[in-house]
Chains A and B, each alone.
Chain A
Amino acid sequence: MLQLLRSVPRALGSAVAGLRAAAPSQPLRQLLQPAFRPCARPFGLLSVRTGSVQLPGLLQPRGPCACGCGCGRLHTEGDKAFVDFLSDEIKEEKKIQKYKSLPKMSGGWDLEVNGTEAKLVRKIAGEKITVTFNINNSIPPPYDGEEEPSQGQKVEEQEPELTSTPNFVVEVIKDGSKKALVLDCHYPEDEVGQEEEDQSDIFSIKEVSFQPTEESDWKDTNYTLNTDSLDWALYDHLMDFLADRGVDNTFADELVELSTALEHREYITFLEDLKGFVKSQ
């Protein structure tokens, strides 16, 4: 998808150059940074669609509403191609969507979703445990191995499944307490698709801090323990502490499934919004 979106600016760029000539006061929109997604259509197809024979037409849109709908908004040939492409892409993404509804976490966690941020909450024996994560920028880049694909193997088949591995923050609040123990947890930074036997923990604790429960802002003046040079025995006790509260390797694996499903859902919604915005009728 990244390759394809990289190609889109060329088509749009040509159209925009023409628009600049027509309406120089119109500012250029900054291109969005896309999430990595396998291409539903090969990179070359878009170039074929906006081939050199038709290029003059793209460069010279016939006016703000080239499609003739009369709405007065900008509808270039490039926009039409973009909308058509997005329609196909949305169809393909829905086809490969693994979960139509978000997968459930085991262990009795309640899920709250607010846009790209998700909160898992659990109450147990006088404690409230909250796990918060954001699916933005949560997909690591695919592993770019040095080996060439084996003979006969298509490039698409080699692309690893994209998974979302967000950092997540665990807050533990004991009933009646004014402070929360906050643990910032990460998944290993190994790139997805690596063949070599990975020996990292499924997740790790990076930072630990106490934060006041009554304030929403993070207090920088509270001591933050960094685990990079932490005594291993203390680290293991912290991991066991989390495991006793349901944040263990099973939880971490399930959270990846949940985050991946949420990220994919948000991505499809974004594509639909983008299609509607570009179409704008």
Chain B
Amino acid sequence: MSLVLRDLQRAVPLRRAPLRGRLQALRSVLGVRRFDLGVVCVDNERMRRVNRLYRRKDVPTDVLAFPFHENLKAGEIPQPEFPDDYNLGDIFLGVEYIFQQCKEDEDYYDILTVTATHGLCHLLGFTHSTEAEWQKMYQKEKQVLEELSRRTGTRLQPLSRGHF
């Protein structure tokens, strides 16, 4: 199924092919390639608008996830009855926000990958409202990124690290 990538911003000169490659690798590791996924790259202004609209927070952020299947148990892979339901949902990547947060010694596309991993975990039912939930999410991200590192030779750390 499709990975639909959209770049709605001009704040950061984004290269679509390398980002797609990494996102496809993530989908493989998570075992969700048969599901449609939307990834929308936005600037701070649009991210702030979306954050305000859906979470009542008038600030930009790094990632927002809009799951197609709500109320999934953490890590549960959906088992849809209909072909149209093979959809995980959409991730909004705040590429400008991430670029601004990116440290000098960090690879921007590595950080995008880590952030997308966090977003994907949200689409699969993971949350981090409590410490227990956060631990579970952190472990999942760590597992995914370790597998990704094995396949691609990168060394990536979960976004959830230090978030609770």
Which A residues are closer than 8 A to B by beta carbons?
197-202, 232-233, 236-237, 239-240, 243, 248-250, 253
CA distance A202 to B50 in the complex (A): 18
User: Whose C-beta in chain B lies nearest to the C-beta of A234?
Assistant: B17
B1-29 to A contact mask, C-beta < 8 Å, 1/0: 01111111110010111001100100000
Beta-carbon contact of A232 and B15 below 8 Å: no
Q: Is the interface of A mostly helix, strand, loop or mixed?
A: helix
Beta-carbon contact of A202 and B8 below 8 Å: yes
B69 beta carbon closer than 8 Å to chain A: no
Residues of B within 8 A of A199 (CB): 6, 8, 38, 40
30 A-B pairs (CB sep. < 8 Å): A197-B50, A197-B53, A198-B8, A199-B6, A199-B8, A199-B38, A200-B8, A201-B6, A202-B7, A202-B8, A202-B10, A232-B2, A232-B5, A232-B20, A233-B20, A233-B24, A236-B16, A236-B17, A237-B17, A240-B15, A240-B16, A243-B13, A243-B15, A248-B10, A248-B13, A249-B7, A249-B9, A249-B10, A250-B10, A253-B10
User: CB < 8 Å: which of A201, A236, A250 contacts B8?
Assistant: A201
Residues of A within 8 A of B21 (CB): 233
CA distance A144 to B6 in the complex (A): 26
User: Whose C-beta in chain A lies nearest to the C-beta of B21?
Assistant: A233
Beta-carbon contact of B4 and A197 below 8 Å: no
CA distance A200 to B5 in the complex (A): 10
Beta-carbon contact of B10 and A232 below 8 Å: no
B49 beta carbon closer than 8 Å to chain A: yes
Give chain A nearest CB distance to B49 CB in angstroms. Answer: 7
Give chain B nearest CB distance to A84 CB in angstroms. Answer: 44
5 closest cross-chain pairs (CB), A and B: A236-B16, A249-B10, A250-B10, A236-B17, A237-B17
Beta-carbon contact of A200 and B17 below 8 Å: no
Give chain A nearest CB distance to B1 CB in angstroms. Answer: 11
Residues of B within 8 A of A202 (CB): 7-8, 10
Which B residues are closer than 8 A to A by beta carbons?
2-10, 13, 15-17, 20-21, 24, 38, 40, 46, 49-50, 53
Beta-carbon contact of A200 and B6 below 8 Å: yes
Residues of B within 8 A of A249 (CB): 7, 9-10
User: Whose C-beta in chain B lies nearest to the C-beta of A201?
Assistant: B6
**New A-B pairs, 16, CB < 8 Å, besides A199-B8, A202-B8, A236-B17:** A197-B50, A198-B8, A199-B6, A199-B40, A200-B6, A200-B8, A202-B7, A202-B10, A232-B5, A232-B20, A233-B21, A240-B17, A243-B13, A243-B15, A248-B10, A248-B13
Known: A197-B49, A197-B50. A236 touches B5 (CB 8 A): yes
User: Whose C-beta in chain B lies nearest to the C-beta of A236?
Assistant: B16
CA distance A249 to B96 in the complex (A): 14
Residues of A within 8 A of B10 (CB): 202, 248-250, 253
User: Whose C-beta in chain A lies nearest to the C-beta of B43?
Assistant: A249
User: Whose C-beta in chain A lies nearest to the C-beta of B12?
Assistant: A249
CA distance A198 to B50 in the complex (A): 11
CA distance A261 to B130 in the complex (A): 54
Give chain B nearest CB distance to A23 CB in angstroms. Answer: 58
User: Whose C-beta in chain B lies nearest to the C-beta of A239?
Assistant: B16
Residues of A within 8 A of B4 (CB): 232
User: Whose C-beta in chain A lies nearest to the C-beta of B90?
Assistant: A199
CA distance A253 to B21 in the complex (A): 27
User: Whose C-beta in chain B lies nearest to the C-beta of A241?
Assistant: B17
Residues of A within 8 A of B9 (CB): 249
Give chain B nearest CB distance to A129 CB in angstroms. Answer: 17
